[in-house]
Amino acid sequence: MKIINFMLAVVLSMNLYGSGDININVIDEDAKKTNKITMVFFHMTHCPYCNRMLEEMYEKEDAMSVINQKFYYVDINIDDDAVITYDKFKGTADEFAEYFNIKMYPTILFIEHGKIIYYVHGYRNEEKFNFIMKYVASRSVNKMDLLEFINEEMMKDDY
């Protein structure tokens, strides 16, 4: 059932934003209207860490709940031939990754109001990634670093 929901979300997002082409400017504008943050997930087809993180993100209801409530999710497989538009950039998914000098996969960019506000390079397990999503969604990025945020979140559980 979760895989069906995932596939439905992918098909709907492709229909919303064109035939496989991704205009992050438009997505970010939509996100702004709904007080969400754009989450761009860069991955490769044959990357085991990418696939594992994708499975954990989509097969866990808690993660999907946070993603759907707080983020506009953009899936960019650099092995695909989609055309990506962002700011003044327009090119392939692979060129887009090069534009940001991304060398490690998976990489997640969080974009708000056209600016990258936070990024994560490499695999994170579900627990760690949930903390990162809460950190970004709470808009704590400019207020404290991630470790301070995690410490505060853990202290909340003690009461």
Question: Which CATH number do you get for residue 137?
Answer: 3.40.30.10
DSSP count for the chain of H helices, then E strands? 7, 7
Dihedral Cα 116, 120, 125, 126, nearest 10 deg: -10
pLDDT at 48: 96
Tally of domains within the chain? 1
pLDDT tens, residue by residue, 29-71: 999 999 999 999 999 999 999 999 988 887 777 777 778 899 9
pLDDT value of residue 46: 94
Pairing of strands 107-112, 37-43: antiparallel
CA distance 25 to 35: 15
Name the pTM for this structure.
0.80
Structural domain for 88, as ranges: 2-157
pLDDT in tens, 15-30: 344 447 899 999 999 9
